[in-house]
Structure formats: C-alpha cells, structure tokens
Amino acid sequence: MRKKSLSAKKKNYKIIADNLSDKRINNIFKLFENNLKKKIHVKKYGAAISGGPDSMALAYLIYRYNLANKKKCFYYHIDHQLRKNSFEEAQKVKHVLKKWNINLKVIRWLGKKPKTQIQSIARLNRYNLLKKEMKNVKIKYLFLGHNQNDVIENFFIRINRGSGLRGFVSLNQVEVQVGDINLIRPLINIPKEDLVYISKKIFNFYIEDPSNTNQIFKRVRVRKIIKLMNDEGINKQKVNLTLNNLTSADEAIKFYVKENLLKNAKYFKMKNYFLLNDKFFSQPREIVLRSISFILKKIGNNLQPARGKKILSLLESLKSNDSIKLTLSGCIIEKIKNLIKICPERPKKT
C-alpha cells in the first residue's frame, strides 16, 4: 500500500476513534450493522452513492463496517447529466471520498434525456448502468441509501396510486431481489435527520438536489402532506407501526405464493417455460396475482413486475376463454384446455 494511502487510512481511523464517543453516530452504526449481519454473508458488494446526505452517510457506515469485518465495496456514482453542474458535483463527491481512501467510479448516462417521467426513467437507467458495472466485477449485492423517510413517503405515494399490499411494503425491506441483483437497504429504519447529521459531522459535505424542492414532482408534494399530518399528530412512529403490521401480513402471503408455485406450477429450466394447472388459479386472488407476477418477471427477465391492472385483465381473459394466446411483459401466455403455458417471446440467446 502506498504511503499516501496509509496516511489517509490512519487519519480515518482517528476520525472514527474520535467519533466513538458520539452516542448518536454509534447508535446509528449499531442499527446499520444489525441490518447487515442478518443479510450479508458475502465478502464484496457495490454501493450507489449519489452525493446526497443519505448516500454520503451510507459511504461512511460501509467504510466503518468494512474495517471491522474485512469486506470490500465498489462505490458507484451515476452522473445523469440532467443538470448543468452534474459533472462538477460528481467530481466533488469523488474528491471528498478519496480523502477517506474510498475510490468512487463515476458513470455517465449518455444519450437523449427525457422531458417527462424524468425521475422514473432516470431510476431505470441508473439500475441498468449499475447492473452492468456490477456484472463486470462479479458482484450481486448493491447497497442503496433508502431511509425511513423514503419508506414513509413511498407508503403515501402508493395510497395515491391505489396500490395493493405488496406496493405498500415494497420499500420496507432490508433486502429485495430484482432479477439477479440483491438490493440492500441498511438505512430503512434510520431517519433522514440522522443521516444528515453523519454527513455534516464526518464529511462536512453533501449535495443538495434542487429537485427535492421542485413541486412538479409528486414526492416533494407528498413530503408537504406528511409534514401537515405530523403537525396533526400522525407521526412517523404510527406510520411505521402500520407498515410493520402490513409487512407481517405480506410475509404470510409470500408463504402461500411459494406453496402455489411449488404445488401447481412446473418450471422447465432447459427450455425456460412454466406449465400451470387449473388449481393454480383456484387460490385467493392476491396469491394468484403474485404467483403470475413472479412467473412473468422470471420468464420475461424484467426488472419490474407487470402492472396489476394488466395482470387482472390477463386473468379475466384466461378465465373467459377455453383456448387463447396472449402476450404480456415479454412473455407468451397460451391456454390449452386446463393447462397454461408461459414462455418468453424471444428465446434466450445461446
């Protein structure tokens, strides 16, 4: 190791040692560590670092965790190039983390930028770019900076969409598998205020995203509603209690979805298709919806599941016809008497 790297590491050890007396940081780190020890058993993983207070705190907590547990992390920043100064911001984040001997790889999102649905399209491109980078270094775990505030905001956004149970608890999990990538959210039970505290205390730096105050975005408007509700006594603790109860119900449903897939569906791995018997569709509606959603996602090799409305329409068509052939979410769904076959629209490239 170079002298400069050794010097930086000693300095960082000292900063961590100095902060051991900071009860607030120690309590945050304990929560972070407990979340990881239950989920992470691999030696290397990736982390998405935007430069905001959540991700800067995440970078510090990972660094501290890795020192104690001999783990390795690849840090990535996606420069979406949606703002004029995005390049300068990315370089600043890289420079700040370099002082901690953290090597941040900046990846640019090239090509034409959207004028509508900016945040959702940017999110999809971000995951695709990160997935490609992770494949290059053979890692399957990606750390994200989603925190307690994000979970609560997501809950109210989903109410507005009329989501089902799965939608409500979609962020309220430390680990979730998307395709062949495991997304890890070790901050979901940590308030944003604590992460801002770490970023200021450790780095004295984080990027303020101007979109966080732009009311054209639904998430910003939802934050204002949450603040009003908090003023009326509907606080985070009460919302979290509701989310935890919903999460328990969600776990029960997952058990029965697994049973349905095991008993009433057969996967032919070599040719990559499913055959479903008539008992598959005699389960409660939510079990059937999730079972079909899982199969479509697996066979279609999609990052996101098909929309609930489209799946409901598919189920209605299958129920109303003795013989039918449809396409949805990159899959061909064919009904022949009492059997349903689901295969990819395009065969896998060999």
HSE at residue 23, side-chain half, CA atoms within 13 A, is: 0
Q: What pLDDT digit, counting tens, does each position of 133-144 carry?
A: 999 999 999 999
Question: What global pTM score does this model have?
Answer: 0.78
If we measure between CA atoms, which residue out of 175, 185, 168 comes closest to residue 286? 168
Residues 153 and 272 in one domain: no
Residues 213 and 259 in one domain: no
17/191: higher pLDDT: 191
Of 191, 213, 234, the one marking the end of a domain is 234
Tell me the CA distances in angstroms from 259 to 22, 256, 276, 291, one per residue in order. Answer: 48, 5, 13, 10
Of 192, 214, 234, the one marking the end of a domain is 234
If we measure between CA atoms, which residue out of 76, 83, 81 comes closest to residue 102? 76
Structure tokens at 65: 């965790």
User: How many structural domains is the chain composed of?
Assistant: 2
What is the reported pLDDT for 38?
67
In whole angstroms, give the CA distance from residue 53 to residue 62. Answer: 14
Average pLDDT value for residue range 2-18: 63
Of 203, 234, 265, the one marking the end of a domain is 234
Q: What pLDDT digit, counting tens, does each position of 43-63 carry?
A: 899 999 999 999 999 999 999
CA angle 222-228-233, nearest 5°? Answer: 125
In terms of residue numbers, what domain contains 251?
A: 243-344
User: Amino acid identity of 166?
Assistant: R
Does 349 fall in a domain?
Answer: no
In whole angstroms, give the CA distance from residue 341 to residue 85. Answer: 51
200/214: higher pLDDT: 200
